[in-house]
Structure 1
């Protein structure tokens, strides 16, 4: 057993009720725990009905085997039975902790060319990283709307990075998604009003974004790893210290 201390930074929505988790280990390296054959179910985030694998949780995981597949070089197979929660990072040091790992721009994260002929992506097999952290120069807008297929919601943030490049990326951050869904359904706030209000909030706050890459499994564009926003942090905190567990839909 090799226990590794990790600060959880990303908990994102995957398909079929699964999630993706990532964090930063001591020394600054990114880690993405994986279960290659079955994926990580959302219930794995909880212990005794409490979310212990959540953003800013300091935990120990049993990393058993590196499982890199460029650009997803951060993958480690874990023992799913071993997850030890220590504490939540104090709120007053969260921003300073994240800024220790800032990349200068989106293009500096992956070590590969970013293509933008349909969305933003890099090619499978290229690059040496799939996770990074940026401070956007400006938030242009926050988008919450029905998706184009009419079978779900579309969550996006349009921003300009420090290099002056514009991106309009899908947000997979689970807390972000559950928060917007909760405000829309339980708060009876329209998508348009919610998008407008949250755009104003994000434009007035300090924002840090975690940027990641999808797996190259998109049938329409195989061998492409799309850019996505895997963690959304504002200071002051738009979640007011809460996380996905506080907005989880009733089953």
Structure 2
């Protein structure tokens, strides 16, 4: 969260601090044999596999009644999906190896050359999300912008919090075309699970990042996700 660049989370961190949350940035390796002291652990797209000890520590953290926010990514970058699912599947959330694409519900981007606007470019993997569960997290949320994220498969005890439109599909080969082996329909992009503790998974780390969090209702959504994980709502 300390990274001030476009893919960092400093904007979200500042808003959370203004909302009386106390934040601690873990900048060096933490001794996981010790008790994890935080109420909510935010894991923004880990690029290295968790060790057995790290996985056990996170699972113990959740069993103790604490919370974890996991931000995943599209496809299977760095081979991350299988090892992240080792953490999430026992809670009913399975990260998919795809990129959510929607040729109808997406945003466009201005194309400029030398300061002259030449037109707008369609970006089908920058998806507009407007389907939400009736939940405190989604209160007053009308639209999220989902930037090249993956879909999630949900089973009990988890539940879908936000999903795409029926025209979207999970693009596995990343060619932006719907193929026979790809799933089309309302795809979950954010899911929650509560047993002893609370786990929230979003298939896109950019939704919370500095360069994207002001899009749509992304910022309010992320604030309410953190509040739910902190048992504040």
Q: Which has the higher helix share?
A: 2
Q: Which has the higher contact order (CA 8 A, sep 6+)?
A: 2
Q: Which has the higher strand share?
A: 1
Give me the TM-score of the superposition, normalised by structure 1.
0.29
Give me the TM-score of the superposition, normalised by structure 2.
0.30
